Amino acid sequence: MRSIYLCAAAFLFVAPFAQPAFAADPTPTSLDSLLANGYEVKAANPLSAAATKEIWTGQDLAPQIIVTLQKGSSIAVCNLAVSNWMYLTPATFASTDRCAMR
């Protein structure tokens, strides 16, 4: 009987800290669609080659840039190669696997 009370107490303590179900998965989208929908670029943070290798282990990627966008309370984060960001490469901006929106 005591274990039931302990389980109930643990649930009541942990439940308020649980993440809501609607925040579980970010939605993949393209940078083009985000900009077309009124998102504003809030930050663009370049990563060195060493940091890129540390984050994406086992992959041989060019240095990346992390772009953060916002529209109201919604945010999106995109990762792009620095050269694609500099030259505004159309295929990269249209790709839906580079950005996640929440």
Contacts of 95 (CB under 8 A, 6+ apart): 30, 31
Q: Are strands 99-101 and 40-46 parallel, antiparallel or unpaired?
A: unpaired
How far is the C-alpha of 13 from the C-alpha of 10, rounded, in Å? 5
pLDDT at 62: 87
pTM: 0.71
pLDDT at 23: 55
Per-residue pLDDT of the chain (102 residues; tens, 9 = 90+): 444 444 344 444 444 444 454 455 788 999 999 999 999 999 999 998 888 888 889 888 889 999 999 999 999 999 999 999 999 999 999 999 999 998
What CA dihedral angle connects 39, 93, 66 and 68, to 10 degrees?
A: 0
pLDDT at 33: 95
pLDDT at 101: 92
Strand partners, 67: 44, 78
